Amino acid sequence: MMKMVSRRRFIKGLLGVVIGSSVKAINTFATSTSRREGKNWGFVVDTTKCIGCGNCVKACKLENDVPIDKHVYRTWVESYRIKSDDEVEIASPDGGINGFNSVEYKEGEKSFFVPKLCNQCEDPPCVQVCPVGATYSTEDGVILVDRSWCMGCRYCIQACPYKVRFIHPEHKVADKCNWCYHRITKGKLPACVQACPVGARKFGDLNDSESEVSAILKEERIGVLKPDLGTKPRVYYLGLDKEVR
């Protein structure tokens, strides 16, 4: 009888430990995905201003040590050409890093540039699928990749609906735009924003009602990429055409 009781107590204790650890794990996961007090970074791309010079692409590569000659980009610029029969041509030669060449346009065609970068989604599929916790959302709303913990399985690359992730040619792990986290946490602007000559990229704290990005979100008509996916992007576009995906 004594033996039975002690075994029962032992199993109860074991169950308690297992349930306790699970609750702790669930709590920490919930904390990591919820928005915290303080900064809440936001990014605005004004497609009506972008001139397709590619200076943002170049500055990004130089600031973040992404090899300049490799076809991998943390940010890039696409040119859209919408023909009169609604056929859409999208081009991004070398990510637009060297600008764009002149193209013969016909009457009735529409054309514009669209910069792309990580949307730092509020509900990020890349974070959900990472099997080892190497990609995560910070409390101020940026998705980071832990280079020393990522094992390069490419699951996140597959999961990102915006195709912003790639394997870094030198580090051999997943890489992507992090809005220059090393700069924004020191009060600076991301390198691409700093390099844009026409103010087509804007960055700031959405919790600060005085910031330019807050004013834009409050007053202007904005759009996000692939809103139907429910990822809640934090990159907001001004002048977003319905053909932009």
Q: Which residue, 197 or 227, is less far from another protein as judged by CB?
A: 197
Q: Could you give the CA distance from residue 211 to residue 174 in angstroms, rounded to a whole number?
A: 32
Which candidate, 21, 236, 63, 28, places its Cα nearest to that of 139? Answer: 28
Q: Which residue, 146 or 243, is less far from another protein as judged by CB?
A: 146
Minimum distance of another protein from residue 137's CB (angstroms): 8
What string marks each residue from 11 to 50 as x (binds another protein by CB under 8 A) or -?
Answer: ---x----------x--xx-xxx--------------xx-
Stretch that binds another protein, among 54-62, 158-166, 202-210, 211-219 (CB under 8 A): 54-62
Does residue 35 sit in helix, strand or coil? coil
- Inter-residue contact 217 to 209 (CB < 8 Å): no
The two beta strands, 235-238 and 222-223, are antiparallel
What is the maximum alpha-carbon separation in the chain?
Answer: 93
Stretch that binds another protein, among 155-163, 167-175, 189-197, 230-238 (CB under 8 A): 189-197
102 binds another protein (CB under 8 A): yes
The one among 83, 94, 138, 167 contacting another protein by CB under 8 A: 138
Name the DSSP letter for residue 189: P
Place of tokens 């076809």: 71
Task: Give the Å distances, CA to CA, from 153 to 47, 69, 132, 158, 180.
Answer: 34, 24, 10, 10, 24
Q: Where on the chain is the footprint of another protein (CB under 8 A)?
A: 7, 10, 14, 25, 28-29, 31-33, 48-49, 51-55, 59, 62-63, 79-81, 98-100, 102-103, 105, 109, 111-113, 133-139, 144, 146, 148-149, 178, 180-183, 185-186, 188, 191, 194-199
